[in-house]
A and B are shown apart, each in its own frame.
Chain A
Amino acid sequence: KAGVTQTPRYLIKTRGQQVTLSCSPISGHRSVSWYQQTPGQGLQFLFEYFSETQRNKGNFPGRFSGRQFSNSRSEMNVSTLELGDSALYLCASSANRGGNSPLHFGNGTRLTVT
């Protein structure tokens, strides 16, 4: 089985621009979660999608949004980029929701905002 695939691997954007990150989950996994990881703040939960519906959302401004398609692939979008959005964005998929199913992570998208 192919693992979780995140594209692109690296991205450099300037302040004010917007960005779209993509995540292809493991085949058959219906839950996709997104995390932001920075050295200072650790792993911060962004949102979770299951069956094309957002089920949970972390404490992030409305500039951060996402969606899930019928094939479970997911995208997240960040508009009006700020310097503080520079981070590693991780996507994870699991067969079911909740903590009784392990998360399978992609290798992330490293976003740098200049």
Chain B
Amino acid sequence: SQQGEEDPQALSIQEGENATMNCSYKTSINNLQWYRQNSGRGLVHLILIRSNEREKHSGRLRVTLDTSKKSSSLLITASRAADTASYFCATDGPDSNYQLIWGAGTKLIIKP
């Protein structure tokens, strides 16, 4: 079953702008991960945030986690054309038997 739901489903912005994507989930989690997928390729791991963490950074990426709202956001600052991709969140929890539960993804398009 799909626990994570990304919002929005699609996002189109100008190069240089910031892009924010959200992920909501239904049950308690141990970890939440964000992945990027370029068209027709495999997914690439971006950031892993644990349930006791509130924010993590990696380069131009910032991930926040609000366990009280069961949501996470991924912020990409100063977007580039190469950021055009689909972004997925995945969670695991105490009841998931080590299995990751995936959202449907946000398709991000960066216009030059």
Contact = CB atoms under 8 A, between A and B. Distances in A.
B42 A98 contact: no
Contacts of A110: 40
A31 to B, nearest CB: 9
Interface string A71-114: 00000000000000000101010000111101111111010000
Contacts, number: 67
B98 A104 contact: no
B45 interface: yes
A105 B42 contact: yes
A42 interface: yes
Interface residues of A, number: 23
Q: How large is the interface on B (under 10, 10 to 19, 20 to 34, 35 or more residues)?
A: 20 to 34
A49 to B, nearest CB: 12
A43 B97 CA distance: 18
Contacts of A64: none
Interface of A: 4, 33, 42-43, 45, 48, 55-56, 88, 90, 92, 97-100, 102-108, 110
